[in-house]
Amino acid sequence: MLSVIGFGLLIPVLPKLIVQLQGGGIATGSYMYGWIISVYALLQFVGSPILGALSDRYGRRRIILIATAGSAADYVIMACAPTLVWFFVARTIAGFTAGVLSTANAYIADVTAPEKRAQAFGLIGAAFGLGFAVGPVIGGFLGSIDLRLPFWVAAGCSALNCLYGYFVLPESLRPENRREFAWSRANPIGALLALQRFPAVLALAEAFFILMLSQAMMYSTWALYTDYRYSWGPKGVGLSLAFVGIASGLVQAGLVKRIVPRLGDTRSVIIGLCLSMTALTCYGLATQGWMIYAIICVGAFAGISTPALQAYITKHVPADSQGAVQGVLTGLQSLAGIPGPFIATHSFGWAIAPERTRQFPGIAFFEAAGLTAIALFLVVRSFRRFAHAPVSVCAPGPA
């Protein structure tokens, strides 16, 4: 939750600060915003498999401490950055050490029985939603005072997180479930090839990548799109994201544990993707700001797909490989984050350029909906192909 609060604090103000440092209008500033996000994703793609493999060797706690310390350094550098060059330096550090969420997912797999993992991942999703509700709204209000103030508060959140991890968080990975570190699993390409050991997971990797590409496109243009189309400003953007977090948290905390066991992992993933595709299309078509809030209420139910998919994957992976596989999935998410923001922000900049006779500010949402449709097709194909694949039985370790 603290990690997401720190990240959420920046969302309403980061695009405006980059446009301010870059100079020019929102169309040209959106291009630089896309580059900075893509650099972060590139370094996360390189670093996530390394951190995941290290967590399988040395435990989850150490990696969480490294990741939170890296985030704190990133936010301090951005708070002080006089030029955009320093933003790239900060994002490089943050990207390589961005291992909190993937390591937390592996931690959950360590201490939770397979049949209860969807509910446990739902709690992680609820923490994400709560942090996303608090972070952007605070960031929006702080940004209206000073665009750099949210960065200092975010650094404080990460520092507090690091202290909590050092003094309170116990280790979850039992010694007998640890394995030696190997560069073949730690480098991004080798880690992806290692998924061949788990055919059911490998079959979902391409769908997972496309789905993450879709989500990266939506998140990277949300602040730009709502500010441009509805003139919301940092406060309005922050409030909208807070509403997203609240709605998502309610679904993750209260409904996942009821819906997913009843529908099953596979049906929950499919239904969630259908709802996501519908919501993305409606975001791009919404002509009034109030419509966004109505769409969020429906789109929040798409959140049942993520914990269900995570539960499905962990059930097909042995205990000594959970960290590596979660690192690979985070690496795929990072890989999708390289072209996703670049495509979305450049599509947005092109669609609203002054020379356009007709503007299409929602173009990135339509592109994301199309990608989600492709991911849905691949997921259905994979589930049918591996309907009878063996499920691992991994005993939970001590909390």
In the predicted structure, residue 332 carries a pLDDT above the cut 80: no
- The answer to whether residue 63 scores a pLDDT higher than 80 is yes
Residue 315 is assigned to a structural domain of this protein: yes
Looking at residue 271, its pLDDT comes to 92
Residues 85-113: tens digit of each pLDDT = 888 888 888 888 776 777 877 888 888 88
What tens digit of pLDDT does each residue of 293-306 get? Answer: 999 998 888 888 87
Residue 180 domain-assigned (yes or no): no
Question: Would you state the structure tokens that stand for residue 211, as one six-digit string?
Answer: 């789905």
Answer whether residue 392 is part of any domain.
no
Domain, as residue range, for 88:
2-168+188-385
Tell me what pLDDT residue 398 has: 40
Instruction: Give the per-residue pLDDT at 390.
Output: 53
Specify the pLDDT at position 183: 67
Residue 287 backbone dihedrals phi, psi, to 5 degrees: -95, -15
> Is residue 399 domain-resident?
no
> What is the per-residue pLDDT for 388?
61
Percentage with pLDDT > 90 across the chain: 17
Name the range with the highest mean pLDDT among 45-49, 249-253, 351-355, 394-398: 351-355
Q: Which residues of 310-346 are buried (b: 16+ CB within 10 A; e: fewer)?
A: bbbbbbbbebebbbbbbbbbbbbbbbbbbebbbbbbb
Q: What is the mean pLDDT of residues 318-330?
A: 70
Mean model confidence pLDDT for the chain: 82
Question: Best-predicted range by mean pLDDT among 52-56, 332-336, 344-348?
Answer: 344-348
Residue 123 belongs to a domain: yes
Is 44 a domain residue? yes
What is the average per-residue pLDDT within 123-138? 80
CATH number where 40 lies: 1.20.1250.20
Choice between 322 and 362, residue whose per-residue pLDDT is larger: 362
Q: Which pLDDT value is given to residue 285?
A: 94
pLDDT tens across 142-194, in order? Answer: 988 898 999 999 999 899 989 998 999 888 888 877 777 766 666 666 666 77
- Phi, psi angle pair for 169, to nearest 5°: -65, 125
Question: Which residues are within 8 A (CB) of 240 and not within 5 positions of it... i.e. 6 or more apart?
Answer: 136, 222, 226, 232, 292, 293, 296
Pick from 161, 143, 174: which is nearest to 100 by CA?
Answer: 161
More confident residue, 389 or 300: 300
Could you write out the three-class secondary structure of 63-101? Answer: HHHHHHHHHHHHHHHHHHCCCHHHHHHHHHHHHHCCCHH
What is d(CA 69, CA 63) in angstroms, rounded to the nearest whole number?
10
Q: Where are the alpha helices (DSSP H) in the chain?
A: 2-10, 14-22, 26-58, 60-80, 84-96, 100-111, 117-145, 149-167, 183-186, 188-194, 199-230, 233-250, 256-263, 265-285, 289-299, 305-314, 322-336, 339-352, 363-385
Mean pLDDT of 308-321: 76
pLDDT at 318 > cutoff 60: yes
183 falls within a domain: no
DSSP output for 173-207:
S-GGG-----HHHHSHHHHHHHGGG-HHHHHHHHH
Model confidence at 29: pLDDT above 50? yes
43-47, 83-87, 271-275: range with lowest mean pLDDT: 43-47
For 42-46, 96-100, 280-284, which range has the lowest pLDDT when averaged over its residues? 96-100
Residue 145 lies in a domain: yes
202-211 pLDDT, tens digit per residue, is: 777 788 888 8
Structural domains of the chain, count: 1
Alpha carbon distance 75, 118 (integer Å)? 32
